[in-house]
């Protein structure tokens, strides 16, 4: 359990990990039943949005709860040439691979990341990498930033190998946005 004074709201806020059978109603009842705390009941908020954010952040520290995803591309708005995913809590590498983008890497991008066309020539294409990415990011619905990025990346890179061009750059598979 933790408490803090919220100067903007002018009240105390109390929150707690939802372990065991303790419920918000139980905490509110304990405050109301306490001889001293009952006088301040209207000045104490239980289970606020700030507390939810703290609980969420604590949950993200658990292995498997969140990942960090990094990509390198052929250009600023180009196709993926390298993809790495690590567990945010443990630092374990879940996926680290070069990707054949199906197009040349620009001089500017090569200057930034140092990956050459020769290095990606024998790398798997995005179509082979995407299932691996989806596999290592499948799990609890606590990965909000990977889903949109995965969609954007898969759209632009998939389009690079498709016979029909995408309708818009933001829907193209594998293209960074």
Q: Which residues pair with 28 in a beta bridge?
A: none
Domain 67-171 annotated CATH 3.30.420.40: no
Between CA 139 and CA 145 the distance in angstroms is 14
Q: What residue ranges of the chain are covered by domains with CATH 3.30.420.10?
A: 67-171
pTM here is: 0.60
Question: Which residue, among 17, 129, 24, 16, has the nearest Cα to 62 in the 3D structure?
Answer: 17
Residue 62 and residue 55 in contact, taking contact as beta carbons nearer than 8 Å: no
58-110: per-residue pLDDT in tens? 888 888 888 888 889 999 888 999 999 888 889 999 999 999 999 999 999 99
Q: Please compute the mean of the pLDDT values over residues 31-56 and round it to a whole number.
A: 89
Helix spans in the chain (H): 24-33, 49-60, 107-113, 117-120, 126-136, 146-161
Strands 11-15 and 44-46: parallel
């Amino acid at each position: 359990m933790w408490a803090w004074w919220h100067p903007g709201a002018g009240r105390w806020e109390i929150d707690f990990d939802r372990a065991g059978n303790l419920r918000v109603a139980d905490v509110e009842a304990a405050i109301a039943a306490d001889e001293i705390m009952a006088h301040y009941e209207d000045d104490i908020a239980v289970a606020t949005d700030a507390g939810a954010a703290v609980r969420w952040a604590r949950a993200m520290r658990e292995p498997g709860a969140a990942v960090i995803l990094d990509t390198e591309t052929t250009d600023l708005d180009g196709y993926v040439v390298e993809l790495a995913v690590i567990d945010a809590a443990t630092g374990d590498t879940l996926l680290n691979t070069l990707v054949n983008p199906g197009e040349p890497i620009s001089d500017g991008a090569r200057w930034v990341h140092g990956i050459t066309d020769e290095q990606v020539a024998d790398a798997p294409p995005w179509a082979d990498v995407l299932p691996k990415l989806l596999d290592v990011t499948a799990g609890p619905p606590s990965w909000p930033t990977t889903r949109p990025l995965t969609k954007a990346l898969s759209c632009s890179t998939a389009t690079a190998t498709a016979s029909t061009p995408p309708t818009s750059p933001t829907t193209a598979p594998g293209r960074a946005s």
